Amino acid sequence: MKTAILLSDIFEYFKDTDLIDSQFGGNPTITGIQSVELCGPGQLVFVDRENYINTVNEQKPAAVVTTQALADRLAENRNLGILITPNVKLAQALVKTRFGDRDFDEEQWDRIHPSATVHPTAIVGETASIGPNAVIGKGVRVGPHTRILGGVVVEHDAVIGENCVIHPNAVIGYQCQIGNRVEIGGGSIIGSEGYGFAQDDSRVSYKIPQTGIVVIADDVRIGANNCVDRATYAETRIGRGTKTDNLCHIAHNVQIGENCLLTAMLCVAGSTKIGNRVVASGQTGILDHVTICDDVYLLQRAGVSKDIKRPGAYAGTPVQPLNEYMRTLAHERSIGRLKEKLAALEQEIERLQNPGTASSPEPA
């Protein structure tokens, strides 16, 4: 937290929203935001579980953000400031973003670092900043309040909106378009060459030039070391509000909808279409030219090889509805016992067919 503030300052900022319902107890000065386990005097914490109540009473933070039900349990501490919210986790996200997030303006050099290379035709917003050794190419446009950190390369004619953060050593490829309030993680490449080749009769491969672009809509977060390939002709697109984890690969011509959550090691092959609010757990793989509808959850290293047309949870490879996948796992665990029973039945059949023959059981 940059400066100390009163708890009432936080309440005033959010009181006209649905996030903070009320304030009661003390009105302490807040010097920082901390986890419940590590908290101490002067700090604000977020409490969403009953087993945190004793920790709060013992470690005595200045204030808590919690639900009405848990607040009633904490009200005996008269010095404790309390903010009531219906959604503690959302409150943590928005309160910490507003009052406890990293301050890029404080960290960055004024405007353009002397070691940065900015083409004379580039247009950089007056409140934007360009870090050390960054390269801003011909015809690039960078919006106001955008922070381009050290070592970033923005190739010619790319467009970056306002209030974006491009982390160190990321690359924004030529002509790609980045919306507003977008965050690009360190080492990510937006507009890398799509993987397209044609072969002759001798199976020699020839590159199909990938001359499309990548379009990233507003409020998208791209994690570290992502590769988002440019389209062959038109555009690869990531919809508004979607968040990717580290180490994700999105191939050429992929279309991803709004407010998706895509976690580490996701791999999406070319020309696939992913709907809105899709959630993919780690190491999900999706083949090319597949369509996934809205509101799908992909779990347990899901391998998607065909269209998913109904919302719901899916898991496994090849992907199947989650309830079917769980039944399959349960059956797999019983295979050993079934094998033993089958061996016993075979032995009994052999005994009945040959009553005078003694036989020893086969090993399981």
> Could you please report the per-residue DSSP string of 106-123?
HHSPSSB-TT-EE-TT-E
Structure letter (DSSP) for residue 258? S
> Could you please report the per-residue DSSP string of 178-216?
E-SS-EE-TT-EEEEPP--EEE-TT--EEE-----EEEE
Structure letter (DSSP) for residue 50? G
Q: Measured in Å, how far apart are the chain's first and last C-alpha atoms?
A: 64
- Of 119, 252, 289, 331, catalytic: 252
To the nearest 10°, the Cα dihedral for 35, 265, 193, 169? 30
In whole angstroms, give the CA distance from residue 243 to residue 105: 23
Query: Which amino acid type is present at position 122?
Result: A
Q: How far is CA 254 from CA 44, 229, 337, in A?
A: 42, 9, 45
Q: Tokens representing 162? A: 């306002």
In whole angstroms, give the CA distance from residue 326 to residue 259: 27
Q: Whats the size of the chain, residue-wise?
A: 364
Closest by CA to 233, choosing from 252, 206, 255, is 252
In whole angstroms, give the CA distance from residue 179 to residue 359: 76
- 289 catalytic residue (yes or no): no
Q: Would you name the residues annotated as active-site residues?
A: 252
